[in-house]
Structure 1
């Protein structure tokens, strides 16, 4: 894997975090493989593996948008290694049903093939997230 390919993969993932939510969502949708496997951590409110962009958008992103106010994933570090890119950051937001806010560190590990995300695995301190739900 060339250095150019690694920086391209890095830029591809960076483009899904660093704009407005609309831009990030549009950019993410554009780079999802049709059979993407997206795994939300056990203990996270939307835990499980979603296969395909529609399942992911409906099962995770629409819910984040409707069940939370000000939900954000702010990345502070990216690491590229061949076809993998890791993003490390902090989630924040207020859960509408309880009015409770949270901040929780996360890591997202992406696998990229031919310019498309084929897999993402979420790692997060779910205790800090679930406290806001109750």
Structure 2
């Protein structure tokens, strides 16, 4: 009888321990912030420079997009609340002069995307910065 009781107690303790590990692993999983160029590994030279921003959990995202060229730099900012795992297509709209400059100097230009995302559940903040190169369309 005591062997059966010890076996049952051991199984119960193991089940509680495994359940506790599973619940803390899912609750403690940090929010991931992803930034990627729209359609490819490089940003296409065009009037609209597009990137995709997403979070693994519901978040409030702020984006700062900076274009670095040999001629000069330009920055735009924006923000939006995002649902979990839903992409937000954002970026920068260039003038005609800006498109011509970028077309002539795309090899030496970079697009910097800095994302600050705040988790809407617990308020933790994640920051992610990526640099992208350009490709001709």
TM-score, structure 2 as length reference: 0.30
Structure of greater Rg? 2
